[in-house]
Structure 1
Amino acid sequence: MNATKLGSAIALALAACGAARAQAPAPASAPLKATVIHWWTSGGESQAVKQFADAYNKAGGQWVDNAIAGADQSRATTINRIVGGNAPTAAQFNTSKQFRDFVEQGLLNNVDDVAAAGKWDQIMPPSILAAIKINGHFYAAPVDIHMPAWFFYSKAAYKKAGIANEPQTWDEFLAQLAKLKAAGLVPLAFGGQVWQEKITFDAIFAMVGGSDLYLKVYRDRDQKAVMSPAFKQVLVDFKKLKAFVDAGSPGRNWNDATAMVVSGKAGVQIMGDWAKGEFSSAKQVAGKDFGCFPGFGPKAPYIVAGDAFVFPKTTDANAIKAQKLLATVVTSPAAQVAFNSRKGAIPIRGDVDESTLDICARQGLAIIKDKSRQLPNAEMLASPDTTGALQDVLTSYWNKNQSPEDAQKAFARALKDQ
């Protein structure tokens, strides 16, 4: 659901019920029931979210799972539930500006006391705090830190293509894709959906264009930066990947693209670290069956993204208790490790036992301690409206015979108009 529709739905919610209606009080003796809407439906994701459900139930609650396939569909369901006066206890959103409209319209409860008790200000990265702490209040409980620009590769495919080492530069990466193609493999496992095209572009933008240009464009909306030769080169480099995807890529789901790497049919996938959950489900081991690297070279930017639960407004005491218990459980050290070791992300806190995490996650935890490498996800810097407009620009450029100069102008207009 785009931001325009989101705003309209929220306005309708306010007109229909003033604010989200209070949930019916539960009997005092009943467990703290929590209906949780989320979009974690793939094999690895389902195993991960079960860890939260089990932890919440053990803490005295009753997790009522409401999994909705697809992020847009899941968020739309949340909005419809609020409009209908049947809001869930909690709902998944990305750690971004996606839920700002809810905050501004007074449709969310904060979890300030949980954040204070858990010392969130001290244990979470600045970019995560900037997304969840609005006007001095915590309106979401972050559950993971995703890096959407990991490179996952099949060890078997790399061996077949005669590739011995991970690439240290963009040019080396392109040369490896060419070797994979020559070996009869699909070089780049790609899902031709607008959001996948956008995160692939952002990965190339950060790695090739660099952090300074990335921030000038996404944070500052600097028109000169967008129209610069350096940004044009990012567009050119992004389109070079088109020569290494297969004809079946349009419309492909991300986990189906991951399966191509798992099977060794494809060499590499550029995807968020949630893809590791699919490797884990297939009983593959990081460092043995597949490899991972977060960009080119030892100082590559590390894009910070993630997921969070928001808590729709209610005045029912038991529902509020359920929300606070849920926020406490999902951010606790044990639940963080159990969830993220299966989800593929890294915990939102650094004071956890890393021993059960794979080598990719341990690498991510080490990197994120270096604040100079942290780079906010584009959705943390741009509104949903702007993100949607830029996605349209990039999918048009990727799928049509459009010049980089025309794409550059369209990108600049999209940033300026939103």
Structure 2
Amino acid sequence: MEGFHNVSTTMLTKKTKRSLLAAGISLLASAAIQAGEVEVLHFWTSGGEAQSVQELKAMMTARGHSWKDFTVAGGAGGNAMATLKQRVLEGHAPAAALIKGPAIQEWAELNALTNLDSMALFDKWDESLPKVVADQMKYKGHYVAVPVNVHRVNWLWANSAVLKKAGVADMPQTWDAFFVAADKIRAAGFVPLAHGGQDWQDFTVFETVALGVGGPEFYDKALLKLDKAAIGSDAMKKTLETFRRLKTYVDGKSPGRDWNVTTDMVIKGKAGFQFMGDWAKGEFLAAKQQPGKDFTCTPAPGTTNAYTFNVDSFAMFQLKSWEAQKAQGYLAYVLMGKDFQERFNLRKGSIPAHLNLKMNKFDECGKRSNVDFAATAKAGTLLPSVAHGMALSTAQQNAMRAAVSEFWNTDSMSVGDAIGRLQTLNAPVAAVVPKPVESKLANAAKKQ
């Protein structure tokens, strides 16, 4: 497979398309004859996520390829990215790495990723993906990454038994209703809100509150465009006030707790609610719980007609060995296949990125997510999650997380101070790769 820097960014000719199509067919035909090793960097280590990875491993090894699991736990991928930077710098990049959003383009700009157009043309990816997803997988019009799912982030999860014992009849649709329900849950002796005190989890709740309080237009201006006026508006003030009020319903052991451990509090009936993306559903399912019976899912208060998305995707790195390239190509083919996307997402809690997949095997949460994804795409209220790396540069995202997390953890910090801090974040910031690493990668590219 050809390195990305060798592919023209102009429109493909018919002859080029035929060549790419032939390359894709040849790649798959030869894969079983000369199997290779595929090393994959990911951070799917919790129960539901780990089961999902086993599906992928089984499909690759069945074709004769050896799978090398390169897992880096913790930090919602932060630790994994630090490890990846070091590996690429040393010239030992994995075949694929779990990378999302603008970070894909940042790595492509550094000439680290390989071109997947031959496979994309062979398998008709442009016809199989929503445009909003396909665009994130491309750099200058060329595929460099493969999406495996679409996660909805703005979910509210609840333990059905806890709600019943607390006398909460319905899932709250407004923030006022949420606080009334939370008071009842606390009075019944349960933790009202399960929350893991890590900066990405803090921001997951914050952006959900911002969407519910201010609406999609406010979310777009304040969190995606970093508009100073929107950040300084009454909507942001109310967002921060609501966000801080939520903390009063969280238990004292929250700081540093991983998200899946936090979800387990809801699963085991220790807590009533959790704000988290639908990867949490994978944990409920792994615990043999059923939606609508043991647990309930609903869009977070005020967000019924909006959808914040997080797409898990694998960026493909340039490899030297032809055998490794073929294994990498087959991995891309499997990742985009309907069979894998169905099996994977049934376990992961998300919905397939692949269009036209029947949803009859999916539960009520998955079916609603799929319907809402299509509806919000048409309505213009389908929005990328900032907390999960789908919208801003890595540095901007990290700066926002830090500011929001400081506000969450510092009771003496005023709403005005938090707004002032957030208003400074539209200044130019560094890219995902530190300058010393960027320079070495650029120099390496020039030698090729």
The TM-score normalised by the length of structure 2 is: 0.84
Once the two structures are TM-superposed, the CA of residue 60 in structure 1 deviates from its matched residue by 4.2
Query: Is the partner of 1:395 in helix, strand or coil?
Result: helix
Q: Using the alignment, how far apart are the partners of 2:343 and 2:308 within structure 1? A: 23
- 1:368 aligned onto 2:373: yes
- Deviation for aligned residue 1:76: 2.1
- Measured after TM superposition, the shift of residue 220 of structure 1 is 2.4
Alignment match, 1:115: 120
1:116 shift after superposition: 2.3
Superposition CA RMSD, Å: 1.9
Q: Which of 66, 75, 79 is matched with 2:81 structurally?
A: 75
Deviation at 1:301, TM superposition (A): 1.0
What 5-or-longer segments of structure 2 have no aligned partner? Answer: 1-30, 430-448
Q: 1:174 to 1:28 in 2, by over 3 A?
A: closer
1:104–1:298 Cα change, 3 Å: closer
Instruction: Tell me the secondary structure at the aligned position of residue 414 of structure 1.
Output: coil
For residues 2-81 of structure 1, what are the structure 2 equivalents within 5 Å? 30-70=34-74, 71-81=77-87
Question: Where does residue 162 of structure 1 map in the other structure?
Answer: 167
Whole-Å Cα distance in 1 between the matches of residues 108 and 288 of structure 2?
41
* Match in the other structure for 2:390: 380
* Matches of 1:183 and 1:28, distance apart in 2: 59
1:407 maps onto 2:402 in alignment: no
* Deviations 1:220-243 (CA, angstroms, capped at 9, x unpaired): 221111111111111111111011
Partner secondary structure for residue 383 of structure 2 = strand
Instruction: Select which of 393, 397, 400 maps to 2:403.
Output: 393
Taking the aligned partners of 2:303 and 2:78, their CA distance within structure 1 comes to: 35
- Of the three residues 192, 207, 210, the one matched with 2:212 is 207
Q: 1:175 to 1:123 in 2, by over 3 A?
A: farther
Q: For residues 225 and 346 of structure 2, what CA distance do their matches in structure 1 show?
A: 35
Percent sequence identity over matched residues? Answer: 37
> In the TM superposition, what is the alpha-carbon distance from 1:64 to its structure 2 partner?
2.0
Of stretches 112-121 and 164-173 in structure 1, the one that deviates more from structure 2 is: 112-121
Within 2, Cα distance between the matches of 1:320 and 1:368? 34
Q: Secondary structure at the match of 1:203?
A: helix
In the alignment, the residues of structure 1 paired with residue 289 and residue 32 of structure 2 have an alpha-carbon distance, to the nearest angstrom, of: 46
Superposition deviation, residue 141 in structure 1: 0.4
Q: 1:28 to 1:209 in 2, by over 3 A?
A: closer
Counterpart amino acid of residue 86 in structure 1: H
**Deviation (angstroms), 1:111:** 1.0
1:329, 1:335 within 8 Å by CA — same for their partners in 2?
yes
Deviation of 1:134 (Å): 1.6
Contact 1:127 1:304 in 2 (8 A): no
Aligned to 2:424, the other structure's residue is in SS state: helix
When residues 317 and 297 of structure 1 are mapped into structure 2, their CA distance, relative to the original with a 3 A threshold, is: same
Structure 1: runs of 5+ lacking an equivalent: 1-26
Written as runs of structure 1 = structure 2, the 5 A alignment for 1:218-233 is: 218-233=223-238
- Does the CA-based 8 Å contact 1:127-1:376 persist in structure 2? no
Please tell me whether the aligned partners of residues 215 and 303 of structure 2 are also in contact (alpha carbons under 8 angstroms): no
Partner of 2:95: 89
Residue 186, structure 1, aligned to residue 191, structure 2: yes
Task: Give aligned pairs, total.
Answer: 392
SS of match in other structure, 2:168: coil
Contact conserved, 2:226 with 2:425, CA < 8 A, in 1? no
Q: Give the secondary-structure state (helix, strand or coil) at the position aligned to 2:153.
A: coil
In the alignment, residue 213 of structure 1 is paired with which amino acid? Answer: F
The code of the aligned residue for 1:416 comes to A
Distance between the aligned counterparts of 2:97 and 2:194, measured in 1?
A: 31
